[in-house]
């Protein structure tokens, strides 16, 4: 039987360099730094860091990943999960406050809105990193890079299956629109292959990704 | 005995967890438990019966997710009908001799409501209404709304229950480890909202164990004047040998809940992880306790979606600036539907320290019903302050209160029969704290005694409608002292009497007193302190007035309301009347910037740009400032952005500085003429897409460059875009989409425009858009960023 567990995390430290990267700033001047600092100050302790997840057995044949409760056809996902016998399905969010900041400032100060947008992206990535690190330590395993609906050829409609299994609305307060948009917006769902060897883990997150024209590529 | 009679004199036992029991009997992850009412009715009846046997008075039907978003109408009816029949059958077959009731269980819709999500408030009311009607049809004894983690959705569900049944309704929310709902409400804020709307009990369930919910329960008990519910989890789940186990034993659970019952919790049960064993032990432990009587806490409060503001402890400041009276720039904003201006006014007042915002958008030439509703909804996206809904139009009042997320302050009712008949039913239905003006059919009584008599009449009538004294706050009307030397006496004397003899709170539009006099702030400040000394609870005031703020902080410091005078000291710097900083015109400006103003804009210094513009207006024509200063500065930054030497946040900071310069120019041009108009651009985020940051950025830049932008917002249907383009004859439409899934809506919009408004060019942009996509959906132009959209607009308008 698959069991969905939920977990809350403490606020991970803010990484200014990452935030500026997401905000599209390659260099920094004192005005931008001031803007960034004031946004971080406003954001501190305002978010909740929640994850729900379940562990499923996995069988892969060709480009079909069979998780028992459902199966997904995707070459990209199958390649990502290759050689894994188990995978975790996970939903994560930093809550609604970040959307309130973005929505407020996009009306009255778009430069702050862009900064909060970047902060939100950095926050959710940090949360996922924290979750994966904990999971590896607690279970003595290694995890492959996270793989989400929309990556490569994995259809966005896979969100429906993930939401059905994880019951994200109840467990972490994330809902899914008919257009596969998640609310709160700073939320992710992903698959993550479990392996017992570091050999199979791709350390550079970008090298496995098929989005070759990404402006952030190769800089993580 | 019906449920309410039973609740009135007993501790009520609810049931325990359902989901975990169903899982242990074979329910798979992702399977809808509600279908088991039909396919596995024997198991459902068995579980319900085991709870009745364990001592539950109330069993909640297995309908947590039974709503029209998940099931079609036929299946939904079948589910609710069978669910109630299953619970009823269990009640009949149980050997327990306790009073037994069947509660129609309503859980969250699974969607987040707008503006955070995509479900409209009224659609949410409709979703819950369908389930409620079925519950009534098939004979539920009461409705339980539970595990709600959003205050707005709670309001929608409670409204649906109240509008579609006369059954008792009890409401329980899911609080997080921070003691708040997911969307931010504190327990006391939920008490204000739920109690205001007339629920029969309220409380907390799910998420946490009883010990972690203790603070939430205590806050509920201390604030609620109706019975409090507590239905915690059996602690936190973990996996042992492939099974879910919870970390609190039935004994520990019963002990902790029992402690809270002794403190005043009245309705108890369990949620995830609890079983009949937990309920049995709980019942044995508690059954001999006497219920603690429910007393009226007599608190006068309003709330927002995060917190309450309580009257009586500290003077309350209500910001008066969202009001067109006497404000040309504000009137212009209303006529142009310039919501951003109104929102900025709200945020600025919050930064000045007000506790509540008055919202008045009444103007003869606008549709106040729509405008007030929209203003209230939009303000709640930029500020978490409670709002005071200020209108004389009962239709506008209802549309705004209904949509308001919280318990609103309502301004106002008065002693006229017609006013009370229109306003009191709204206060009763939606909850609210209503400002009552002490005037009636005979006008404003000149004497304090006359005003007190009107107040007493208003209280008597309110009681007939079932509105408690604590939900009425009196405004004894500040009249202008320049017209009548004794005007202030009557106001002060009557508010003193109402506060001290009738025991109601008071509120006053303080600044009315100084109409017609020079340097009004001096009179206002002193009058404000006299009012406070006479017991004024709240002032509707101008937070930009240094005299008013000085009075407020000084009064609190002198009255022992400001520990260590900390607030007084912290704010003392702002007490000096604002003096424009002299502009150092002689200061040398580096050549690259052209002028000080251009430098301020290039550097993104909003306040400095505004100050410099004010100074320049003394000697230079407004349009010359725009053309020779603001636009060249913006252009330089824009070119820098295009050449990748300036990044997006910097571009936006400059745009904001330019905007603040424009604001000064707009306010200066007293005849309301437009600063510049290069042509109309209609802008929208397409249907199904609720992200609008990109659209707002493009909008701001277009406005800076002198285009008249008609912003249709987000999630905009194709027909609406077409309608506006046709109405305004706009030569350009800008469409934004974030997701691949919403690009079809963009395509549909373009198709409509090409057919029915062929003159209109369409530029598209957004995260997933590419030139290929844009070509495929027949857009005239793909803009990779905001500057490119501006350049294209200039090209289309031939500038």
When CB atoms are compared, the residue of A69, A70, A183 closest to B117 is: A183
Cα(B391)–Cα(B371) distance, rounded to whole angstroms?
11
The closest of B446, B439, B436 to B502, measured between CA atoms, is: B436
Q: Residues A70-74: what's their mean pLDDT?
A: 94
Digit-coded pLDDT (tens) for B362-398: 998 899 999 999 999 999 999 999 999 999 999 999 9
What mean pLDDT is reported for chain B? 93
Q: Is the sign of the CA dihedral B6, B7, B13, B19 positive or negative? A: positive
Whether B91 and B50 have beta carbons less than 8 Å apart is answered as: no
A54 to chain B: closest CA residue: B29
- B203 φ, ψ (degrees, to nearest 5): 180, -150
Q: Residues B65-89: what's their mean pLDDT?
A: 98
Cα(B564)–Cα(B577) distance, rounded to whole angstroms?
25
DSSP string, B239-264: EETTEEEESS-HHHHHHHHHHHHHTT
Q: Residue B588 — very low, low, confident or very high, per pLDDT cuts 50/70/90?
A: low
Is pLDDT above 90 for A64? yes
Q: Residue A205 — very low, low, confident or very high, per pLDDT cuts 50/70/90?
A: low
- B638-656: b (≥16 Cβ within 10 Å) or e: bebbeeeebbbbbbbbbbb
Give the ipTM of the model, two decimals please. Answer: 0.89
Q: Residues B416-439: what's their mean pLDDT?
A: 98
Look at B693 and A102 and tell me if their CB atoms are within 8 Å: yes
Report the CATH number of the B591-668 domain. Answer: 1.10.1240.10
Whether A176 and B109 have beta carbons less than 8 Å apart is answered as: no
Q: Residue B750 — very low, low, confident or very high, per pLDDT cuts 50/70/90?
A: very high
A29 to chain B: closest CA residue: B650
| Class of CATH domain B3-286 | alpha beta
B713 touching A (Cβ < 8 Å): no
Digit-coded pLDDT (tens) for A190-200: 999 999 876 55
Is pLDDT above 50 for B583? no
Is pLDDT above 90 for A74? yes
pTM score > 0.80 for this model?
yes
Q: Residue B674 — very low, low, confident or very high, per pLDDT cuts 50/70/90?
A: low
Q: Is the sign of the CA dihedral B765, B769, B770, B776 positive or negative? A: negative
Digit-coded pLDDT (tens) for A102-157: 999 998 999 999 999 999 999 999 999 999 999 999 999 999 999 999 999 999 99
Which residues, other chains included, contact B366 with Cβ-Cβ below 8 Å and sequence gap of 6+?
A: B334, B335
Look at B382 and A2 and tell me if their CB atoms are within 8 Å: no
Is pLDDT above 50 for B592? yes
Whether B522 and B547 have beta carbons less than 8 Å apart is answered as: yes
Chain B CB contacts of A185 below 8 Å: 691
Residue A101 C-alpha, separation from nearest chain B C-alpha, in angstroms: 8
When CB atoms are compared, the residue of A167, A179, A184 closest to B742 is: A179
Is pLDDT above 80 for B576? no
Is pLDDT above 80 for A171? yes
Who wins on pLDDT, B799 or B435? B435
How confident is the model at residue B580, as a pLDDT?
43
Whether B509 and B535 have beta carbons less than 8 Å apart is answered as: no
Cα(A215)–Cα(B752) distance, rounded to whole angstroms?
34
How confident is the model at residue B585, as a pLDDT?
46
Q: Cα angle at B316 between B444 and B351, to 5 degrees?
A: 120
Neighbours of B766 (CB within 10 A): 23
How confident is the model at residue B579, as a pLDDT?
43
Q: Residues A12-28: what's their mean pLDDT?
A: 92
Q: Residues B394-413: what's their mean pLDDT?
A: 98
User: Which spans in B706-778 are helix H?
Assistant: 718-728, 743-756, 771-776
How confident is the model at residue B799, as a pLDDT?
52
Cα(B80)–Cα(B60) distance, rounded to whole angstroms?
12
Cα(A165)–Cα(A181) distance, rounded to whole angstroms?
17
Distance of CA B284 to the CA centre of its chain: 43
Q: Residues B129-140: what's their mean pLDDT?
A: 98
Q: Residues B264-277: what's their mean pLDDT?
A: 96
Superfamily covering domain B680-796: Cobalamin-binding domain (3.40.50.280)
Q: Dihedral angle at the C-alpha atoms of A54, A59, A63, A67, nearest 10 degrees?
A: -30
Distances (CA, A) of A78 to A71, A194, B151: 11, 13, 42
Give B296's DSSP letter: -
Look at A25 and B118 and tell me if their CB atoms are within 8 Å: no
> Structure tokens of B430?
């939606």
Whether B738 and B689 have beta carbons less than 8 Å apart is answered as: yes
Cα(B658)–Cα(B602) distance, rounded to whole angstroms?
9
How confident is the model at residue A26, as a pLDDT?
84
Residue A106 C-alpha, separation from nearest chain B C-alpha, in angstroms: 5
B306 to chain A: closest CA residue: A97
Q: Residues B607-618: what's their mean pLDDT?
A: 92
Whether B363 and B393 have beta carbons less than 8 Å apart is answered as: no
Is pLDDT above 80 for B496? yes
Which residues, other chains included, contact B460 with Cβ-Cβ below 8 Å and sequence gap of 6+?
A: none
Residue A219 C-alpha, separation from nearest chain B C-alpha, in angstroms: 18
End-to-end C-alpha distance for chain A, whole angstroms: 37
**Would you say the CATH fold of B591-668 matches that of B301-573?**
no
How confident is the model at residue A206, as a pLDDT?
67
Nearest-10 crossing angle of helices B328-335, B339-352: 140
Cα(B57)–Cα(B13) distance, rounded to whole angstroms?
5
**Among B residues 618-637, those touching chain A with beta carbons less than 8 Å apart:** none
Q: Which domains does chain A have, with CATH numbers?
A: 11-200 (3.40.109.40)
Chain B CB contacts of A181 below 8 Å: 118, 688-691, 738-739, 741-742
How confident is the model at residue A209, as a pLDDT?
67
What is chain B's Cα-based Rg? 30
Domain boundaries, chain B: 3-286, 301-573, 591-668, 680-796
How confident is the model at residue B584, as a pLDDT?
42
| Class of CATH domain B301-573 | alpha beta
């Amino acid at each position: 039987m698959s069991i969905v567990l939920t977990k809350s995390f403490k606020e991970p430290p803010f990484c200014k360099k990452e935030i500026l990267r997401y905000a599209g700033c390659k260099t920094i001047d004192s005005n931008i730094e001031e803007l960034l600092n004031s946004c971080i100050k406003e954001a501190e302790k305002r978010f909740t860091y929640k994850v729900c997840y379940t562990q499923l057995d996995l069988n892969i044949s060709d480009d079909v990943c069979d998780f028992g409760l459902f199966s997904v056809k995707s070459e990209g996902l199958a390649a990502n999960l290759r050689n894994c016998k188990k995978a975790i399905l996970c939903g994560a969010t930093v809550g609604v406050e970040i959307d309130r900041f973005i929505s407020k400032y996009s009306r009255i100060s778009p430069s702050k809105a862009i900064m909060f947008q970047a902060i939100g992206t950095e926050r959710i990535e940090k949360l996922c990193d924290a979750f994966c690190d904990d999971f590896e330590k607690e279970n003595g395993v290694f995890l492959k890079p996270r793989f989400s609906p929309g990556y490569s050829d994995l259809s966005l409609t896979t969100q429906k299956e993930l939401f059905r299994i994880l019951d994200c609305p109840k467990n972490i307060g994330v809902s899914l629109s008919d257009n596969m948009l998640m609310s709160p917006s700073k939320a992710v769902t992903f698959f993550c292959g479990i392996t017992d060897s570091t050999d199979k883990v791709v350390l550079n997150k970008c090298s496995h990704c098929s989005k070759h024209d990404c402006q952030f590529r190769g800089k993580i | 005995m019906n449920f309410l009679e039973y609740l009135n004199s007993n501790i009520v036992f609810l049931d325990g967890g359902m989901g975990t029991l169903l899982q242990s009997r074979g329910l798979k992850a992702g399977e809808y438990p509600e279908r088991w009412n039909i396919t596995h009715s024997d198991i459902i009846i068995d579980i319900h019966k085991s709870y009745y046997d364990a001592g539950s008075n109330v069993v909640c039907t297995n309908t947590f997710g039974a709503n029209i978003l998940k099931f079609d109408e036929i299946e939904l009816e079948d589910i609710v009908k069978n669910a109630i029949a299953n619970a009823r059958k269990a009640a009949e077959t149980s050997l327990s001799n306790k009073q037994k009731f069947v509660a129609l269980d309503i859980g969250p819709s699974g969607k987040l409501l707008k503006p955070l999500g995509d479900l409209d408030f009224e659609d949410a009311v409709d979703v819950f209404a369908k389930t409620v009607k079925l519950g009534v049809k098939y004979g539920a004894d009461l409705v339980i709304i539970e595990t709600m983690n959003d205050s707005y959705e709670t309001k929608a569900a409670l409204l649906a229950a109240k509008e579609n049944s006369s059954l008792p309704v009890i409401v329980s929310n899911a609080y997080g480890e921070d003691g708040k709902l997911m969307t931010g409400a504190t327990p006391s804020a939920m008490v204000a909202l739920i109690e205001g709307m007339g629920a029969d009990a309220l409380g907390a369930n799910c998420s946490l164990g009883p010990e972690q919910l203790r603070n939430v329960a205590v806050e509920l008990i201390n604030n609620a004047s109706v019975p409090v519910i507590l239905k915690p989890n059996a602690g936190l789940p973990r996996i042992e040998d492939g099974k879910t186990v919870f970390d609190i034993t039935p004994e520990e659970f019963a002990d902790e809940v029992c402690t809270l019952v002794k403190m005043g919790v009245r309705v108890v049960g369990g949620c995830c992880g609890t079983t009949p064993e937990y309920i049995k032990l709980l019942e044995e432990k508690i059954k001999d306790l006497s219920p603690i009587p429910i007393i009226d806490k007599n608190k006068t409060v309003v709330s927002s979606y995060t917190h309450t503001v309580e009257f009586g402890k500290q003077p309350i400041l209500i910001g008066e600036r969202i009001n067109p009276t006497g404000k040309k720039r504000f009137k212009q904003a209303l006529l142009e539907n310039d919501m951003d201006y109104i929102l900025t006014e709200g945020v600025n007042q919050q930064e000045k320290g007000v506790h509540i915002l008055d919202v008045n958008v009444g103007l003869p030439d606008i549709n106040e019903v729509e405008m007030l509703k929209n203003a209230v909804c939009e303000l709640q996206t930029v500020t978490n302050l409670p709002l005071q809904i200020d209108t004389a139009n009962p239709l506008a009042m209802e549309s705004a209160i209904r949509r308001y997320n919280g318990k609103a302050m309502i301004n106002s009712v008065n002693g006229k029969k017609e006013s009370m008949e229109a306003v009191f039913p709204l206060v009763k239905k939606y909850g609210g704290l209503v400002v009552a003006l002490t005037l009636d059919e005979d006008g404003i009584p000149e004497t304090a005694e006359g005003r007190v008599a009107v107040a007493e009449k208003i209280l008597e009538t309110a009681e007939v409608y079932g509105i408690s004294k604590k939900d009425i706050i009196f405004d004894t009307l500040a009249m202008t002292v320049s017209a009548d030397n004794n005007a202030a006496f009557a106001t002060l004397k009557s508010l003193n009497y109402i506060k001290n003899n009738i025991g109601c709170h008071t509120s006053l539009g303080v600044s009315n007193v100084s109409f017609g006099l020079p340097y009004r702030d001096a009179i206002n400040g002193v009058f404000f302190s006299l009012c406070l000394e006479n017991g004024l609870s709240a002032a509707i005031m101008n937070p930009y007035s240094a005299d008013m703020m000085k009075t407020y902080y000084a009064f609190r410091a002198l009255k022992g309301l400001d520990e260590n005078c900390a607030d007084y000291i912290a704010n003392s710097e702002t007490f000096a009347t604002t003096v424009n900083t002299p502009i150092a015109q002689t200061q040398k400006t580096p050549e690259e910037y052209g002028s000080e103003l251009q430098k301020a804009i290039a550097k993104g210094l909003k306040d400095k740009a505004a100050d410099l513009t004010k100074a320049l207006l003394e000697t230079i024509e407004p349009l010359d400032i725009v053309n020779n200063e603001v636009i060249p500065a913006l252009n330089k930054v824009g070119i820098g952005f295009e050449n990748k030497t300036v990044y997006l946040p910097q571009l936006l900071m400059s745009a904001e500085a330019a905007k603040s310069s424009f604001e000064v120019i707009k306010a200066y041009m007293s005849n309301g003429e437009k600063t510049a108009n290069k042509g109309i651009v209609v802008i929208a985020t397409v249907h199904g897409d609720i992200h609008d940051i990109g659209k707002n950025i493009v909008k701001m830049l277009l406005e800076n460059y002198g285009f008249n932008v008609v912003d249709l917002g987000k999630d905009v249907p194709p027909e609406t875009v077409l309608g506006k383009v046709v109405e305004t004859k706009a030569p350009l439409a800008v469409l934004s989409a974030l997701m691949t899934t919403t690009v079809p809506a963009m395509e549909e919009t373009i198709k409509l425009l090409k057919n029915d408004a062929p003159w209109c060019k369409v530029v598209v942009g957004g995260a997933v858009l590419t030139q290929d996509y844009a070509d495929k959906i027949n857009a005239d132009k793909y803009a990779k960023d905001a500057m490119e959209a501006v350049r294209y607009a200039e090209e289309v308008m031939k500038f």
